[in-house]
Structure 1
């Protein structure tokens, strides 16, 4: 066991004994996400490096403090990728932060989410004990799949030490097409295409323009391109566009001057849901299932509208960091969250309140 882990074990036990919260933090590039962090910072970046990489088995195990860019560069050497296309939101992004945040990029709708690629984790729990779950193959779970519960938990259940991830080969061919469509027609077209054998890998609609990415075998991509039509983007332009979507550094995601504090809402909906009809600029991804909205309307009215369409709403950036960031949970689901928190972190010292108040 590394010196870092031994030091963290002692620090966790001392914090639990003193009822002193800890703010688990890697590169800090996603510190804006969730409710306001509290407690003394426990920096995880010293625990870094590749534990095991088997390109032929499509699996890699890395320490949580490993820079995400470093892992992606290693995979690129073998022409492999993290298929869920995780956002970095800054140069310091770590693998542990990627898993803890549970955020996926443009390819998520067709490839799967972060949790779908987490094969195993090693964590330090709130008692200072090192626990391992899952492994390095897909069929390795009997009972509750703790590895996937850790994904998206924002550090509230434990300090991630190591992660085993499934990786995939980089697509042989890719092309990006553009279509001039209004919101309703774009949503309808995307749902029609999703039901067809097309090599779709990403979509984005904004301000009357639908951008579609095709990825896969050369013959499949070229056949789909001929079938769908649209205007093909040059590869450098397409790559820059999708990177801007993933990293949210394109024009849409810049704060909007509304006269009040701008909030960027992340709205999860059925892909075929009708247009939102909420005031504010909108950006649609994942075939209609993810909709970003700049809006300064009351949170209750936004959540009411989204719920009426079968979805839920997260105040992704901006707004009150001490308020309800995520969709309030029904009492039975909150009870499950509380039991999980009590099982892994009985003293409640890990990122308290980061997901929900009192959790």
Structure 2
């Protein structure tokens, strides 16, 4: 162990002995996400830096406290990127926070989610033990996939030390097109495009406008633009649009009403909820700003075949995340007990009692 790791391990053991909750925190850019925060802060930013980067192997190994912007700059210098386009939500975002939150940006529907890019992870569990899972190559398939399990766990299972992540080459060419149509037409169109050999890398709909991004080889993007038509945005306008979605800096996300994220089948019908709506991921992600009560929102999401997360705003006492079925909650409880038997790591950040 490094000196930092040893210090954290001792802090964890002392907290476990006294049953004192620890709040695992990186840059704090995702503090709003999930259940209310609790516990003595364990600041994870001291453990930082890129450990190794093999551009030809499309793999990077990095310490969890590394600023996300620093990692992306290092990848950009090699003509590479994080394929899942993680949101930062602030200049202090860290790689560990990115993995722990498990949030993906506009490219997620075509490139994959955060967990799809995780190859290996090293962590400290709730006993202060240093554990390593997975590998540093894309063909690694040995053992239980704890690297992916840690993704989206919000620090409830361990303190991330370092992660190995698959990266992607930057696309050679990109173009963004816009079309005027209503929400139902847009969802149908997104799904039609999804079933065709088109280089679609992101889609969104808001306020009567469907926007699609094409990424890939120059010839493929040019041919797709000619086939689809629409109005092509300038490079600057396109970058601003997708960045605004990724970082939730667009006007839609600045409203006062609670922000809900509905994850539903891409072909699901209209949500039917009051308020404004923004659709992403080929129709599978529906952002809704509404004052409707949590029970109504979640009931509607269930009818559509999905679930609803209270992303921002409102009273989190209703639960930030969709309630778990008994069998799934039992699995969560067993995992929590295995990694954190004294329940001291970010307790209740995902669900009460976990």
Asked if the contact 2:134–2:143 (Cα under 8 Å) also holds between the matched residues in 1, the reply is: no
Asked if the contact 1:199–1:216 (Cα under 8 Å) also holds between the matched residues in 2, the reply is: yes
Asked if the contact 2:309–2:322 (Cα under 8 Å) also holds between the matched residues in 1, the reply is: yes
**Deviations for 1:90-120, whole angstroms, at most 9, x for unmatched residues?**
0000000000000000000000000000100
Give the TM-score taking structure 2 as reference length: 0.99
Structure 2 match to 1:72: 72
Structure 1 residue ranges without an equivalent (≥5): 257-261
Structure 2 match to 1:82: 82
Asked if the contact 2:84–2:105 (Cα under 8 Å) also holds between the matched residues in 1, the reply is: yes
SS in 2 for 1:45: helix
Structure 1 match to 2:111: 111
Mapping for residues 156-235 of structure 1, pairs under 5 Å: 156-235=156-235
**Separation in 1 of the partners of 2:246 and 2:142?**
34
Asked if the contact 2:171–2:216 (Cα under 8 Å) also holds between the matched residues in 1, the reply is: yes
Asked if the contact 1:122–1:160 (Cα under 8 Å) also holds between the matched residues in 2, the reply is: yes
User: What is the CA distance between 1:210 and its match in structure 2?
Assistant: 0.4
**Separation in 2 of the partners of 1:318 and 1:120?**
34
SS in 2 for 1:99: helix
**Separation in 2 of the partners of 1:234 and 1:37?**
42
**Separation in 2 of the partners of 1:90 and 1:271?**
29
Asked if the contact 1:35–1:323 (Cα under 8 Å) also holds between the matched residues in 2, the reply is: no
**Separation in 2 of the partners of 1:20 and 1:281?**
42
**Separation in 1 of the partners of 2:56 and 2:41?**
38
Query: Which structure 1 residue ranges, 4+ long, deviate > 3 Å from structure 2?
Result: none
SS in 2 for 1:310: coil
User: What is the CA distance between 1:2 and its match in structure 2?
Assistant: 1.6
User: What is the CA distance between 1:277 and its match in structure 2?
Assistant: 1.1
Matched, 1:349 2:344: yes
Structure 1 match to 2:318: 323
Structure 2 residue ranges without an equivalent (≥5): none
CA RMSD across the alignment:
0.7
SS in 1 for 2:351: coil
SS in 2 for 1:165: strand
Mapping for residues 1-359 of structure 1, pairs under 5 Å: 1-256=1-256, 262-359=257-354
Bigger mean CA offset, 73-82 vs 322-331: 322-331
SS in 1 for 2:46: coil
User: What is the CA distance between 1:144 and its match in structure 2?
Assistant: 1.9
**Separation in 2 of the partners of 1:153 and 1:245?**
23
User: What is the CA distance between 1:75 and its match in structure 2?
Assistant: 0.3
User: What is the CA distance between 1:245 and its match in structure 2?
Assistant: 0.4
User: What is the CA distance between 1:140 and its match in structure 2?
Assistant: 1.9
Give the TM-score taking structure 1 as reference length: 0.98
**Separation in 1 of the partners of 2:214 and 2:249?**
22
SS in 2 for 1:32: coil
**Separation in 1 of the partners of 2:215 and 2:267?**
23
User: What is the CA distance between 1:170 and its match in structure 2?
Assistant: 0.1
- Equivalent residue pairs, number: 354
User: What is the CA distance between 1:166 and its match in structure 2?
Assistant: 0.3
User: What is the CA distance between 1:138 and its match in structure 2?
Assistant: 2.1
**Separation in 1 of the partners of 2:309 and 2:206?**
20
Asked if the contact 2:294–2:318 (Cα under 8 Å) also holds between the matched residues in 1, the reply is: no
**Separation in 2 of the partners of 1:221 and 1:334?**
45
**Deviations for 1:201-246, whole angstroms, at most 9, x for unmatched residues?**
0011001000100000000000000000000000011001100000
SS in 1 for 2:29: coil
User: What is the CA distance between 1:319 and its match in structure 2?
Assistant: 1.5
Asked if the contact 1:306–1:312 (Cα under 8 Å) also holds between the matched residues in 2, the reply is: yes
**Separation in 2 of the partners of 1:269 and 1:72?**
30
